[in-house]
């Protein structure tokens, strides 16, 4: 085992002592539901975005850090106030910069204390709030028309999503800028294989965790099948999503990425998901969040008509549903790779 000299140990201790001013909670400037934490662990400064796997930071210069395992174009920068206090943390990448403001001590402490409940008790309420298992089992297919807004990239879009029981899903999106088509996105899971393609990149087939995540996300009955899809579920401390108190459950699948779901303490509907998206070709996992709003009853079940998903690569993408139809014919050929 390599030994650390007293001189090196002293330098490390001094560096870690300097990192203490960064430690704390941060909230997205543009999306209060998205949070980050900076902490010191072992001999490194660690960033955790929205409860996802921790990433080690490597100091490049004063208040500038690269992210271990990521290209140099991905950085975390510290933004200071006029009095030199740490005021914000900025995720910088080729797609833009995303600011997380440091949370005040009062904001960090203001987490509502929710009544104790077991996972089974809470999930029974969740499934009832979503319309009940019986109503979900009556449905066998879904076709959705939607609109997209890539908030941080100046791009919009529209598309169609197809789903078919028990676990097939596909989506086709057309992207526009200044009102003109600029490309398309396509993704699918056919019960065994998953992949995605765009008009400006090569097609990619999912493997490993990415394939397992696609399998889980394609389950037509979703949370109704939570005991089938997850090997472990654990209640976490109550939290907030924006101004709303929420129950929190961490769901761990057999092979895919862990899902942390927040449920409204008033309606018991899902309001936020924290997970990771695996990029097969790059071999990396990026923290990813979704927040849900505008629930509406469609054929006896509750559907979120607005979703905001976010990660440090693409920023925020808002999806608004325009039409939802159930139990309509869906040809299996839509669940195959798109040919350019």
Query: DSSP secondary-structure letter at 20?
Result: G
pLDDT above 60 (res 71): yes
User: For 276-285, what is each residue's pLDDT tens digit?
Assistant: 887 766 667 7
CATH code of the domain occupying 6-108:
2.40.128.50
pTM, 2 dp: 0.70
3-class SS shares of the chain: helix, strand, coil, % to 5:
20, 50, 30
Q: Residue holding tokens 């087939």?
A: 205
Q: pLDDT higher for 113 or 287?
A: 287
Cα 170 to Cα 17, 161, 166, 194, 210, distances in angstroms: 50, 6, 13, 9, 15
Which residues, including other chains, have CB under 8 Å from residue 230's CB and lie 6 or more apart? 251, 252, 253, 259
Q: Cis check for the bond before 245: say yes or no (omega within 30 of 0).
A: no
How would you write 204-266 as a 3-class SS string? Answer: EECCHHHHHHHHHHCCCCHHHHHHHHCCEEEEEEEEEECCEEEEEEEEECCCCCCEEEEEECC
Q: pLDDT higher for 107 or 230?
A: 230
Q: What CATH superfamily classification does 111-335 receive? A: Lipoprotein localisation LolA/LolB/LppX (2.50.20.10)
Over range 163-189, report the average pLDDT: 94
Q: pLDDT higher for 116 or 178?
A: 178
User: For 280-324, what is each residue's pLDDT tens digit?
Assistant: 666 677 788 899 999 999 999 999 999 999 877 677 899 999 999
Q: Where are the domains of the chain?
A: 6-108, 111-335
- Find out whether 304 and 318 touch, Cβ atoms under 8 Å: no
């Amino acid at each position: 085992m390599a030994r650390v000299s007293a001189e090196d140990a002293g330098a490390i201790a001094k560096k870690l002592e300097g990192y203490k001013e960064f430690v704390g909670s941060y909230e997205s400037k543009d999306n209060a539901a998205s949070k980050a934490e900076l902490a010191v662990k072992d001999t490194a400064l660690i960033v955790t975005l929205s409860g996802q796997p921790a990433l080690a930071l490597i100091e490049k210069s004063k208040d500038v850090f690269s992210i271990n395992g990521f290209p140099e174009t991905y950085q975390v920068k510290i933004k200071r106030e006029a009095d030199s206090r740490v005021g914000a943390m900025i995720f910088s990448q080729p797609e833009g910069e995303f600011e997380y403001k440091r949370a005040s001590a009062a904001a960090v402490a203001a987490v509502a204390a929710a009544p104790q409940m077991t996972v089974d008790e809470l999930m029974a309420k969740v499934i009832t709030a979503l319309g009940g298992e019986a109503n979900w089992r009556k449905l066998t297919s879904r076709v959705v028309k939607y609109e997209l807004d890539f908030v941080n990239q100046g791009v919009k879009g529209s598309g169609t999503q197809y789903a078919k029981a028990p676990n097939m899903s596909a989506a086709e999106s057309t992207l526009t800028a200044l009102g003109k088509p600029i490309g398309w996105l396509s993704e699918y899971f056919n019960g065994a294989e998953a992949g995605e393609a765009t008009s400006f990149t090569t097609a990619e087939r999912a493997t490993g965790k990415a394939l397992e995540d696609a399998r889980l996300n394609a389950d037509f009955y979703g949370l109704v099948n939570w005991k089938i899809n997850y090997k472990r579920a654990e209640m976490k401390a109550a939290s907030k999503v924006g101004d709303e108190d929420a129950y929190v459950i961490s769901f761990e699948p057999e092979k895919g990425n862990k899902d942390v779901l927040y449920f409204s303490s008033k309606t018991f509907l899902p309001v936020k998901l924290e997970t990771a998206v695996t990029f097969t070709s790059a071999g990396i996992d990026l923290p990813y969040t979704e927040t849900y709003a505008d629930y509406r009853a469609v054929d006896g079940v509750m559907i979120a008509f607005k979703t905001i998903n976010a990660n440090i690569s693409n920023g925020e993408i808002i999806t608004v549903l325009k039409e939802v139809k159930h139990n309509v014919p869906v040809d299996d050929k839509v669940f195959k790779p798109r040919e350019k």
